[in-house]
């Protein structure tokens, strides 16, 4: 009764929340619920048989899924720190400039963000081309042997990570710049008067005060990179020898090449649980000192 009264009291608040909640329900909760449900079936579009946890058993016994999972972790933890570090560095470097110059740089770094990831992948495919590619052209100019960047097990994943780090971070730079602009100027002035050097100012003032934004960028970046698909699809199709296969790509091939939607749903659920877990860890670990 008490609860109902509370809800009634806050009815206007709930009313305004309702549109968002309905969209969240339709586009997130129901699909996730359906995914959990389908993962318990041998479902191949034309027939559906309940098999309990068999799909989960199968994927944990499948070396390809384990490889995809390891690759996904390597990719995510390869990209996210470098990309976040790059965004932070660029933000700090452009901060002292006048507004038009800052805007110019922010625009430049944001451009890849509004370009189709497929187009970006196609351009990089050309850059990495073993015979006509730009990268090997420079390698030859420097007297080095050309490298088959995407055809070698050892270089394929680092190439994809490098591409993502170079092209990514635009939106984070914009976010961090906005957050940095909200740090009172007198903090920096006081630190300078006290004799703090640039590194001290960066590590003791800038980074701690940017922590909420960094945390947000870290969580969102981890989620986005964990689900990476288009660059794998366009550039390597998981090869060579499955060295760049990721869970998202495996989910795609399992669902739409093999028509095994039950198994693909189980893979998606594992990915979902891992991402929730990573999100919780990141909030616990980095969120303890954050002042919002």
Partner 1 sequence: MRTGLKVLFVTLLLVGAMVFPAKITITWWINPWRIAPPGHPADKALTGEEYPKWISEEFMKLHPDVEVKYVLVTNQEYAQKLAAAIATKTQPDFFKGPVWDSRWAKSGLLEPIDDYLSQEDWNDFYDQCLKAGYINGKHYVWPWVYGTNGMGSTMLLYTPDFEKAGIDWRKIVNEGWTMEEFVEICKKLTWDSDGDGQVDHYALALGAKGDMVHNVLNFIYAFGGRLTNEDESEVILNSPEAVKGLQFVLDLIEKYGVAPKGAEALDIYGVISYFHTHKASIGFGGPYEIGRITRYVKEGRLAEAFYPVIAPFPHVEGKDPVAYARGSGFIVFKQNDPKKREMIFEFLKFMTNQQNIALLETLQYLTARKSVNQMLYKNDPYMNEQVKKYSQIMDRYGVEFFGSEEFPWSQMNSHFVAALEAVFAKTKTPQKALDDFVTEANKILKKTK
Residues binding partner 1 (CB under 8 A): 44-47, 129-131, 148-153, 237-242, 252-253, 255-259, 261
Q: DSSP assignment of 173-194, as one string? A: HHHHHHHHHTS-HHHHHHHHHT
Residue among 275, 245, 277, 272 nearest 65 (CA): 245
Toward partner 1, which CB reaches closer, 72 or 222? 72
Residue among 252, 269, 216, 244 nearest 56 (CA): 269
Ramachandran region, residue 158 (left: φ > 0; alpha: ψ -120 to 50; beta: rest): alpha
Kindly give, in sequence order, each residue whose CB lies less than 8 Å from that of residue 238, ignoring residues fewer than 6 positions away. 68, 232, 244, 245, 246, 249, 250, 253
- Tell me the closest approach of the beta carbon of residue 275 to partner 1, in angstroms: 22
Toward partner 1, which CB reaches closer, 146 or 287? 146
- Tell me the closest approach of the beta carbon of residue 55 to partner 1, in angstroms: 13
Toward partner 1, which CB reaches closer, 16 or 46? 46
Toward partner 1, which CB reaches closer, 21 or 50? 50
- Tell me the closest approach of the beta carbon of residue 39 to partner 1, in angstroms: 15
Toward partner 1, which CB reaches closer, 117 or 129? 129
- Tell me the closest approach of the beta carbon of residue 68 to partner 1, in angstroms: 12
- Residue 147 burial (CB count, 10 A): 17
Whole-angstrom Cα distance, residue 45 to residue 254?
A: 12
- Tell me the closest approach of the beta carbon of residue 241 to partner 1, in angstroms: 5
């Amino acid at each position: 009764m008490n609860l109902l009264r509370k809800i009634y009291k806050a009815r206007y608040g709930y009313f305004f929340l309702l549109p968002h909640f309905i969209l969240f329900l339709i586009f997130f909760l129901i699909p996730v619920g359906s995914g959990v449900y389908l993962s318990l079936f041998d479902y191949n579009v034309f027939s559906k048989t309940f098999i309990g946890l068999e799909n989960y058993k199968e994927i944990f016994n499948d070396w390809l899924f384990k490889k995809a999972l390891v690759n996904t972790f390597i990719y995510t933890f390869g990209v996210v720190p470098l990309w976040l570090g790059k965004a932070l560095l660029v933000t700090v470097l452009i901060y002292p400039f006048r507004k038009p110059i800052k805007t110019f740089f922010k625009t430049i770094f944001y451009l890849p963000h509004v370009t189709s990831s497929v187009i970006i992948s196609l351009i990089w495919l050309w850059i990495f081309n073993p015979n006509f590619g730009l990268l090997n052209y420079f390698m030859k100019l420097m007297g080095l042997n050309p490298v088959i960047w995407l055809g070698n097990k050892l270089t394929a994943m680092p190439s994809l990570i490098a591409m993502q780090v170079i092209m990514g971070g635009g939106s984070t730079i914009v976010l961090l710049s906005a957050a940095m602009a909200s740090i009172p100027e007198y903090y920096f002035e006081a630190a300078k008067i006290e004799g703090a050097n640039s590194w001290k100012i960066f590590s003791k003032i800038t980074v701690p005060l940017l922590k909420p934004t960094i945390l947000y960028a870290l969580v969102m970046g981890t989620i986005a990179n964990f689900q990476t698909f288009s660059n794998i699809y366009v550039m390597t199709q998981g090869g060579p020898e499955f060295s760049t296969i990721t869970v998202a790509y495996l989910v795609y091939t399992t669902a739409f090449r093999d028509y095994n939607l039950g198994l693909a749903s189980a893979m998606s659920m594992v990915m979902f649980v891992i991402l929730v877990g990573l999100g919780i860890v990141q909030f616990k670990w980095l969120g303890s000192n954050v002042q919002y």
